[in-house]
Every structure is written in structure tokens, then in C-alpha cells.
Amino acid sequence: MTMVAILSGAGISTDSGIPDYRGPDGVWTRDPEAEKLATYAHYMADPEIRRRAWRVRLDGPVLRAEPNAAHRAIASFERSGNPVRVITQNVDGLHQLAGVSERKVLELHGSARSVVCTGCRVRSSMSAALDRVRAGEDDPRCLSCGGVLKSATVMFGQRLDPVVLGQALSIAKSTEVFLAVGTSLQVQPAASLAGVAAEHGARLIIINAEPTPYDALAEEIVREPIGTSLPEVLARYG
């Protein structure tokens, strides 16, 4: 069987109602100030940024979103016994909700479904923190130590977890097929995984609406909608 690795970006989740960040109608394209909400230094220094971030989380689409056809296709591919690993830049948890095994998903940028204390590092559920916001706490603090809470995502100014990144690099170096799906391949070091895979002999297939910096390394570029094109590509290896 062919080993398939999938690097997924924001584009795989737009059909679930989660807008991307840098596309023509992306969150940061429409509101450049919103990027501050995801910047660690701003978040830690400015209580108003934190309060706005909690309001955005409260009204955001991530926790309401459901997996779409692309997520379900990957889960079906795994259930059929195919060797697959998912490396995702997304923080929405939709791969796991679709049924992909937790151990087969690497979340490079963390998860928006949890919160972490920036002081004592205790993790807890995002839904519980949002319940506190709904109850009137506009900047809820850690119940263990009183520290600042943030979503368990990697913000600008924070390093990726070196263990998770190391696992992703190992997968990129050993896979036979590497699919880059719905990612602009502009955010490093995640984007470099496509190049690493190609350099180590993987067949690189890029499924994305816009050109990427790694298109020249790809054996195949697909510009068709992800919800229909990804299942078709996976069917070749199932």
C-alpha cells in the first residue's frame, strides 16, 4: 500500500464555514487589525486585545463547524486500511471530528478546542472557558493560578512544538505521496514540509485554488474545489 501524508491548511475547512486568513476574503485580508488577536505579544500586553479575542471566540464559527466532504474523504480513506498521516495547520479539530484517528493527526498550530494557562500551563476545555465569558467574565483567568488564559493554539511570536514538528518532518521524509491541500504554503516551517517531501522522493500533489511557492516542485497541481478533487485523488491510492 502507498503511504500518503496530507498537509491540510485553511482551504480544506472553508466548506465548513470557517473562512481562511490570507485569501481574497480572508479574515486578515478584510481586517488587518484582527491579526493582533493572534499575536502573542499583543495578547499578553493588552487586556483589551484579550477581551476582543474572547468575544471573537464566542461568536466564531470554529466550535460550531462540522466536517465537510474533504474531511470525511480522509477519514474514509483511513477506515479502508490505507496508511495515512494528517499534518494540519488548522486548529479546528475537524479531521478528528470526521473520524480520523487522533494518533494519525498532528496539529502543528495547536487546537482552538482547548485553552492553556500561560503561567502554569494547565490545559482545559475551550467550551468551559466560553461558558465563563457568557456568564460575564470578559477576560477569564486560570482557575489554578490566576494566570492569563489563551487558546491552545500557536500564536504569532510563539514557536511550534519541536516534538510535533520533528514528527512532521519524519513523516515528510518517509512518505511516498505528499498532498498539500488548501494551504498557501507560505507559513514556515509548515510550508517547508512540502519541499522536504519532494526532496526525499515523494510525489508532491498540490490541491489549492491559488498558486503556491512550491508549485514548481509538484508533480501535479489541482485547482478544482477540494470537496470533489481530494476524494478523487485519494481514490487512486486506496
Domain-located, residue 138: yes
Q: pTM of this prediction?
A: 0.91
Both 176 and 219 in one domain: the answer is: yes
Domain-located, residue 123: yes
CATH of the domain at 47: 3.30.1600.10
What is the rounded CA–CA span in Å between residue 87 and residue 65?
19
63-106: pLDDT as tens digits: 899 999 999 999 999 999 999 999 999 999 999 999 999 999 99
Q: Is 109 a catalytic residue?
A: yes
Domain-located, residue 132: yes
Query: Considering its fold, how many domains does the chain have in total?
Result: 2
42, 71, 95, 109: the catalytic one is 109
- pLDDT of amino acid 134: 97
What is the rounded CA–CA span in Å between residue 161 and residue 110?
9
Both 99 and 175 in one domain: the answer is: yes
Domain-located, residue 105: yes
Instruction: Please give the DSSP secondary-structure letter assigned to residue 159.
Output: P
Both 87 and 191 in one domain: the answer is: yes
Domain-located, residue 23: no
Measured in degrees and rounded to the nearest 5, phi and psi for residue 85 equal -130, 140
121-169: pLDDT as tens digits: 999 999 999 999 999 999 999 999 999 999 999 998 999 999 999 999 9
Both 144 and 223 in one domain: the answer is: no
Both 101 and 204 in one domain: the answer is: yes
158-192: pLDDT as tens digits: 999 999 999 999 999 999 999 999 999 998 899 99
Both 9 and 87 in one domain: the answer is: yes
CB 196 within 8 A of CB 13: no
CATH of the domain at 230: 3.40.50.1220
CB 89 within 8 A of CB 82: no
Domain-located, residue 24: no
Measured in degrees and rounded to the nearest 5, phi and psi for residue 236 equal -70, -25
Both 176 and 136 in one domain: the answer is: no
What is the rounded CA–CA span in Å between residue 116 and residue 222?
38
Both 44 and 99 in one domain: the answer is: no
State the first-to-last Cα distance of the chain, in angstroms, to the nearest integer: 8
Beta strand 84-88 with 105-107 is parallel
Both 33 and 3 in one domain: the answer is: no
- Residues sharing a CB contact under 8 Å with residue 57, sequence separation 6 or more, in sequence order: 112, 126, 130, 133, 151
Structure-derived torsion over alpha carbons of residues 193, 117, 40, 43, reported in degrees to the nearest 10: 150
Q: Which grid cell sits at 51?
A: 477581551
Q: Which grid cell sits at 213?
A: 511557492
Both 222 and 166 in one domain: the answer is: yes
Residue numbers of the domain that contains 8: 1-18+67-109+159-238
Both 167 and 122 in one domain: the answer is: no
Q: Which helix (H) or strand (E) holds 55?
A: helix 47-59
Both 14 and 132 in one domain: the answer is: no
